[in-house]
Chain A
Amino acid sequence: MKLIVFLLGAFLLTACYEDTDVTMHKAGVYKGKEDSHALSAEERAEVLKLRFNSVQTDR
């Protein structure tokens, strides 16, 4: 019985875990998630240039 209570208590207490990894704010510094892309900025610029010329040309 004691073992069951102990195991149940241990199981329930695991839900009380709190992440203590705090991100400290520093003025003027973005510390959010990193915005990653499949293509590099240069590659993307080339793709978007082609897109601009094919879609937004003057009429």
Chain B
Amino acid sequence: MARMKFLCDAERCIECNACVTACKNEHEVPWGINRRRVVTIDDGIPGEKSISVACMHCTDAPCQAVCPVDCFYTTADGVVLHDKDICIGCGYCFYACPFGAPQYPQEGAFGARGKMDKCTFCAGGPEEDNSVAEVEKYGRNRLAEGKLPLCAEMCSTKALIAGDGDIVADLFRSRVVRRGGRPDNWGWATAYKD
């Protein structure tokens, strides 16, 4: 059975933020919520690295472990999803998540938190596939349409890849072998080809 995973190749990511824009547009994510974001290390310094981060759909998800109302479930594809009708917006999952994936819309007065929102691997939620309720609560269900997450599908440099973990790992391994263990976007080999 497939186990869906994201992988961001730091040697290819050019920090264009198109994945972030695509995600927000596809799922009509409200202002202030970022299901995906690009993190840059050593920004502005030669050799800086960027990676696109969202929910990594952990096999043994800490958010799932700490949830006091057990609103999380893992699909047969290995995607970690949650039921917003059960979520109480306590924020425990945010503290547990090492990637900062859970997001909370501000609802009501005094900055009261709403129900948690996170990347769904474009797999919607427990509502009927692509029903109005599912689209409103969780966004589009591309997996049900036989498509993979839009952020990865439209990545221009193919830095962000999403799919079955085994296939993703094979692809990344072939890239690393081709590079010879060194980055291929800068350095002598790039500057002085042939």
Which residues of chain A have a CB within 8 Å of any CB of chain B?
Answer: 25-38, 41-42, 44-45, 47-49, 51-52, 55-56, 58-59
Size class of the contact patch on chain B = 35 or more
* Dominant secondary structure of chain B at its interface with chain A: loop
Please, which residues of chain A bring their CB within 8 A of the CB of B144? Answer: 37-38
Count of inter-chain pairs, beta carbons less than 8 A: 86
A47 CB to nearest chain B CB (Å): 4
Partner of B73, one of A26, A30, A55: A30
Task: State A51–B164 Cα separation when bound (angstroms).
Answer: 11
- Bound-complex Cα distance A41 to B126 (A): 15
B73 and A35: CB pair below 8 A? yes
State which residues 46-79 of B face A: CB under 8 Å: 69-73, 75-77
**Complex contact A41–B77 (CB within 8 A):** yes
Report B's interface with A, CB cutoff 8 A.
Answer: 1-2, 4, 69-73, 75-77, 81, 83, 85-86, 125-129, 143-144, 146-148, 152-153, 158, 161-164, 167, 171, 174-175
Q: Are B148 and A32 in contact (CB under 8 A)?
A: no
Task: Given A33-B85, A41-B77, A45-B2, decide whether A58 and B174 contact each other with a Cβ distance below 8 A.
Answer: yes
Q: 17 extra interchain contacts, Cβ-Cβ under 8 A, other than A35-B75, A45-B164?
A: A25-B69, A29-B70, A30-B70, A30-B71, A30-B73, A31-B86, A32-B83, A33-B127, A35-B73, A37-B129, A38-B129, A44-B77, A48-B163, A51-B146, A52-B164, A55-B148, A58-B158
